[in-house]
Amino acid sequence: MDAAVSPRDRAGRTVLERAIALARHSDSPEHYTRTLFTPAHRAAARQVAEWMRAAGMAVRVDAIGNVIGRYEAAEGAGSRAILLGSHFDSVRNGGKYDGVLGILVPIACAAELHARGERLAHAVEVIAFSDEEGARFQTSFLSSRALAGRFDPAVLARRDADGVSLEAAMREVGLDPAAVESARIDPAGVAAYVEVHIEQGPVLLREGLALGIVTTIAGGTRNTVRVRGEAGHAGTVPMAMRHDALAAAAEMVLAVEGRCAAGGSLVGTVGILHVKDGTGNVIPGDVELSVDIRAAEDAVREAAEHDVFEHFEAIARRRGVSLERTRTHHVHAVPCAPWLQDRLAESVRRAGVEPRRLPSGAGHDAMIMAEVCDVGMLFVRCGAGGVSHNPAETVTAEDCGLAVEALLDFLRRL
């Protein structure tokens, strides 16, 4: 590589090249999808472990498949570790920087320390979480929950689209479902957890800033709603006599949008709308939809959720359909520790970027790790208008280099 290239640029290029290389390990030959314990997922885990070892880290794989690299502290220093990390699974047809950036940036920091023979006053552990998105088994934050001691054995019975259970998938890759408890970490050995992540939004891009410091991670709930009406022939049932489940569901979708458009951090999304046995000449009788509601303040989210489902019930009564509602996900809003925000802001400024504090509307493993220790987050500017969870998701090598520089400064100054 050109000797004139600065350490910042070199690190940024390496992070970007590795993210692109890692995206080649995909469940699909057509797009980037990597779900828990598939062959692509296992290949990605091996690659991450290889990069960790090259950075001078001791590597282990825990009982839930997390890949963990540890860079030891200076001799005689305390054994408490700063935990850094993010996830290496993805949503279906996702973006190649979501999650993995928070693994590759810390590895680059460890590599720089290793190259200089430099040890810090604390150990550094980089955690590549095996499953955050939960796309295969609908198990959001599965691996961070295991670290926090919140693994629910009931999820072992969950099955993927091919009917394979999580328990069977674990056994297939050589993991013992009965041993997951051993993944729990001891809070006494942890100083803090810091996660680097693409912003997944347009704020930093619009303000011309490469990095941002997260203040709060929005809480969220997801519900699956089933609307049951009455199927019938599209040509013979008069409009006034119909109990159209899809028409009711469509009105419910607009109810979510209307209630969650109040402003602030509140957002609401219906991302799934499925008509069972849907046919062009049949009145829909059975429809399923998802409802995702998030806000930085739990009280705001809870009030919106109450209003939305009260409105759903009113729609159902008026249209003569029935409702079934199942909550599938619930996390509380999590504030990032003020002292970590301040330290990250100092390091961002020292990297030449004006510190910008902003909330995260997306969920992150940091939300679960907050039950174990103080957490902080560093955002990296997302290109392409802030698009994320999408193949158009982009970051630049320059911004990645700035993230490495700021994070390394943060680690050295703790």
Place 54 in a pLDDT band, splitting at 50, 70 and 90: very high
Position with higher pLDDT, 9 vs 378:
378
Predicted local confidence at residue 407, as pLDDT: 98
Q: Provide the pLDDT for residue 187.
A: 95
Q: Is the pLDDT of residue 79 over 90?
A: no
pLDDT in tens, 312-321: 999 999 999 9
Q: In 10 A of CB 54, how many CB atoms?
A: 12
First to last CA, the chain: 32
Structural domains present in the chain: 7-218+334-413 (3.40.630.10), 219-331 (3.30.70.360)
**pLDDT per position as a tens digit, 393-409:** 999 999 999 999 999 99
**Band of residue 384 on the pLDDT scale cut at 50, 70, 90:** confident
Whether pLDDT at 1 is above 60 = no
Per-chain mean pLDDT for the chain:
95
For the residues of 238-275, what is the DSSP string, one character each? -GGG-B-HHHHHHHHHHHHHHHTTSSTT-EEE---EEE
Query: What's the pLDDT score for residue 343?
Result: 98
Tokens representing 354?
């004006």
Q: Note the pLDDT of residue 2.
A: 58
